[in-house]
Chain A
Amino acid sequence: MTASLLWKRIWRHKLFYLFMLPGIIWFFLFSYVPLYGVQVAFRDFRFSGGFSGSPWAGLKYFHQFFDYYQSSKLIRNTILISLLKLVIGFAMPIVLAILLNEVKNVRFKKTVQTLSYLPYFVSWVVVVTLMQRLLSQYGGPVNNLLVSTDLVKDPVQFLNNTSWFYQVILGSDVWKNIGWNSIIYIAAIAGIDQQLYEAAKMDGAGRFRQIWHITMPGIRNIAVILFILATGSLMSAGYEQLLLLNGPATAAIGSVLDVHVINAGINEGRLSYAAAVGLFQSVIALVLILTVNRVARKVSDVSLF
């Protein structure tokens, strides 16, 4: 296709391209422009030199990270927490979407949907403060309820406790994001041809059969795409949540790369080191996405590219 033909086609569909424009601008500003700063990972950042004027340092900061005695612990914790979030956090919105699809009372359905979205808009600071109040070992309502109903003898220490750490992290993550993440599945389910359900009913399929044979295949493609994208965040366990919920008592299993990067870069002023660790996370994420994309293409014929 010649350039003039391409421009003609773009001009003909200009309205659609216009819709794309905000997204393109967003990605350009927030994903491509910052790539210029990646060079800091290979430089000794100086206030006076800035990004491009600081002296080159080669792989010095990558070596520093891998020489750091906790680097393997940080990588392990990050991957473990991310994996748990991927497995549990990925499945729960699908379950919610399917459950909501089965609700026939529209008013109830809308109410549940709205309530499930709301936590997504609450900042982690507020969520963690709420959790500290609710789950407190000393007069927290959850413990009061558990003790008064004789479910436990003594109040449970939910926070700052390695035995409860993963449950708390996963529970709060699912609670906060389940509603929002289910939107895309609800939309996909809404796009399934209703005649398929009617035909299944006539063939004697019950609700579970319909879900299994119609709803699930109907959202399979979108689920695979989202799964591939989600693997990209396997090296990122969630900065705000872990910063707020991890403490000295849970540091052995709760210290993750995201918080390490922020501490090194902002609190300790080691910007080049932080950029190097951040870049390491991104490169691994890219490799993961490419690998999973390839596997998905072979296994299910669905892939990003």
Chain B
Amino acid sequence: MWNARGKVAATVLTTAMLGSLLAACGNNDNGDTNGSTNGASNGGSDNKPVTLKLLHNWNGSGGGNVEPDMTPIAKAIKEKTGVTVKFEYTKGSEVEKINTIFATQDLPDIYTGPAWGGELDGVIKAAKEDQLVDLTGKLDKYPNLAKEVQKENVPPALYDKAIGGIDGKQYMLFQNQPASDKDAMDWLYGFYVRKDIATKIGVDPQSVKTKDELFNFLKKIKDANLQENGMPVFPLGGFSNGWAVGIGNTMFYGSDYADKGDGTLEHVFFTKPYEDYTLYYRKLISDGLLDPETFTQTDPIAKEKINQGRIAVLAAHYPAILDASKEYVKSHPGSDYIPVGPLERAGAEDNRPVDLGIQGNNVTVITKECKNVDAALKLLDFLASDEGFKLVHYGIEGTDYDMVDGKPVAKKDVFDKFNADTTGKAKKDEGFGIGLESMTGLDRTNTLGGDIWADQERTAAMDSARKILRPNGIQVISAYNAGDFISKSPQWETLKPSMDQIGDVWKEAVFAKSDEAALKVINQLRSQIKKTGYDDAMKFVNDSLKGKEVVKLQMAN
């Protein structure tokens, strides 16, 4: 009897527990959205609380130890839009991440990531395969979003390729394109030498102009047999996976696609200057002038070398160099990295401004799994507004900054707090630098008041480097890029896997045992590229670009 009762009681209890569990599972989405009912309804228009998952597909981005949705800035955004943003950050390859989320259908509500390369290809593929929300006709209600995808606010080839629409439907939002020339961010890519080392070997870095002079400069450093803590100093080095030691390419050719001489274009990989560029770097490696570990090292190891003072010349953008060398410079005054050159630019007249493509642009899309499309659009529209831009970049008015004569000015105590913290945690605690900046529409940093958090020493260093490296100023590239057209050719599906090998094959050639072996490695890939439809694809590119202005000179940015 007791047994039977016990069984009945156990069954009832088990059923009740199972029922609660299933109910909890079923309510998970609603629980997350805090009562938002229908995803596509007006959840965003009346600020009902909504939680949206956002994938920030930038390797290296992150909230640190901060809960990104609990910062004062995140709370202010929630107050304005009703949206709590749950960030997910990418730790590894961005291309891998986008391929993985769509293949496994583990989709965020909002995706934001690089507007180029394999990442953009992944977004386009997702759009073509109905994985994204079609925004056609939806943007009229969101003026700030409509503005950022207007044709004049997007590089022309990118507009034709993706932002303007895929198969007649508009899926993508586009951010961080400079609103005006003064907002264009010049990252000052270049070769930078430690001042004390340049002095020690008695060479004025500004006297180094040509590729041969750069080679001899590095050789002199090598011959000086410099040591730090008993370890040799490498003449030239970079950051993780070789970033960005290869930027010497502009001493050999103008851009990725070159004029064959008859007005048609070919990929520079098939040209003599590309061979010269490869053999130059091969010589840097074989003569011990370039750190052989640079192409395989991780970021911590790269930074450790810089912090140990073991890299004489660094090739990268200047902000990264300033950040990485901060500690070493602090303990070794006079060891700041200063620009080398300006170096010669193949195909450019001496008085030509530096041609820059604007990087840092973001593509943002709403996935088909989005719980509340209107709320997502409302959030993005707010972030792209002037109010949202100021909130994300300057913080909360009265707390973080004040408006003085119509311009934002950082509060001194907040500025000092941020400046004293070399880890960047203090800024993240407030809500800066956790990824929201990627979605603030057109870049209006200078139009709206400049970077109020930049420390004076850093600003002075950037200005000084700019004066040296950009004696004729810069010009933002607005011409068509052949690379955007080749990916629209019918041959692209078979051609892309071969073209994707160029970077790896270049590195392999650089480490080849001889010049002949290096050229053999390059020629093998050339044959493969040809075999997979290159000639037809280039015909398509040349036909498509007839009568259009094409990018022929471009510096890293």
Contacts and interface: CB of A to CB of B under 8 A. Distances in A.
Interface of A: 45-49, 64, 67-69, 132, 138-139, 157, 159-160, 247-249, 251-252, 264, 266-271, 273
A266 B129 contact: no
12 contacts: A47-B102, A48-B131, A139-B229, A157-B292, A248-B508, A251-B504, A266-B99, A267-B93, A267-B118, A269-B95, A269-B121, A273-B497
B103 A47 contact: yes
Interface in B406-460: none
A64 B496 CA distance: 12
B167 to A, nearest CB: 13
B126 A47 contact: yes
B296 A248 contact: yes
B525 A264 contact: no
A46 B129 contact: yes
Contact of A266 (B100, B130, B231, B511): B100
A64 B528 CA distance: 11
* Shortest Cβ-Cβ A-B pairs, 9 listed: A248-B507, A249-B511, A269-B99, A247-B296, A69-B528, A48-B129, A47-B102, A139-B231, A47-B129
B331 interface: no
A165 to B, nearest CB: 12
Contacts of A132: 301
Contacts of A160: 292-293, 296, 511
Contacts of B507: 248, 251
Given A48-B129, A138-B232, A266-B100, A251 B497 contact: no
Contacts of A139: 229-231
A282 B160 CA distance: 43
A270 B105 CA distance: 16
Given A48-B130, A67-B531, A252-B508, A266 B295 contact: no
- Central interface residue in B105, B126, B296, by most chain A CB within 10 Å: B296
B122 interface: yes
A249 B504 CA distance: 10
Nearest to A60: B494
A96 B528 CA distance: 47
A48 B130 CA distance: 7
A264 B525 CA distance: 17
A8 B522 CA distance: 69
Contacts of A67: 531
A46 B103 CA distance: 8
- Central interface residue in B121, B231, B293, by most chain A CB within 10 Å: B293
Contact of B500 (A46, A248, A266, A268): A268
A181 to B, nearest CB: 29
B131 A47 contact: yes
Contact of A248 (B230, B511, B528): B511
A157 B232 CA distance: 14
Given A139-B230, A251-B508, A266 B125 contact: no
Interface of B: 93, 95-96, 98-100, 102-103, 105, 118, 121-122, 125-126, 129-131, 229-232, 292-293, 295-296, 301, 310, 494, 496-497, 500, 504, 507-508, 510-511, 524-525, 527-528, 531
Given A45-B103, A139-B230, 12 more contacts: A47-B103, A69-B528, A160-B296, A160-B511, A249-B292, A249-B508, A251-B511, A266-B99, A268-B118, A269-B121, A269-B122, A273-B497
- Central interface residue in B103, B125, B230, by most chain A CB within 10 Å: B103
B295 A68 contact: no
B92 to A, nearest CB: 9
A143 to B, nearest CB: 11
A45 B528 CA distance: 24
B252 to A, nearest CB: 19
B455 to A, nearest CB: 33
Given A68-B528, A269-B99, A47 B125 contact: yes
Nearest to A125: B298
B158 to A, nearest CB: 20
A293 B103 CA distance: 38
B95 A268 contact: yes
Nearest to B308: A139
A247 B102 CA distance: 29
A48 B107 CA distance: 13
Nearest to B513: A162
A148 to B, nearest CB: 12
A267 to B, nearest CB: 5
A65 to B, nearest CB: 10
Nearest to A266: B96
B295 A248 contact: yes
A266 B95 CA distance: 8
Contacts of A69: 524-525, 527-528, 531
A267 B96 contact: yes
Contacts of A252: 508
B118 A269 contact: yes
A26 to B, nearest CB: 22
B127 to A, nearest CB: 10
A271 B100 CA distance: 10
B125 A269 contact: yes
B103 to A, nearest CB: 6
A76 to B, nearest CB: 15
Contacts of A68: 497, 528
A252 B524 CA distance: 13
Contacts of B231: 138-139
Contacts of B125: 47, 269
A136 to B, nearest CB: 8
Contacts of A269: 95, 98-99, 103, 118, 121-122, 125
Contacts of A45: 103
Contacts of B301: 132
Contacts of A157: 292
Contacts of A49: 129
A251 B512 CA distance: 10
A273 B498 CA distance: 13
A64 B103 CA distance: 21
Nearest to A271: B103
A258 to B, nearest CB: 16
Given A48-B130, A267-B96, A64 B494 contact: yes
A267 B501 CA distance: 12
B129 to A, nearest CB: 4
Contacts of A271: 99, 103
A102 to B, nearest CB: 42
A228 B293 CA distance: 39
A247 B295 contact: yes
B362 to A, nearest CB: 20
A270 B500 CA distance: 12
Contacts of B99: 266-269, 271
A301 B121 CA distance: 56
Contacts of B500: 268
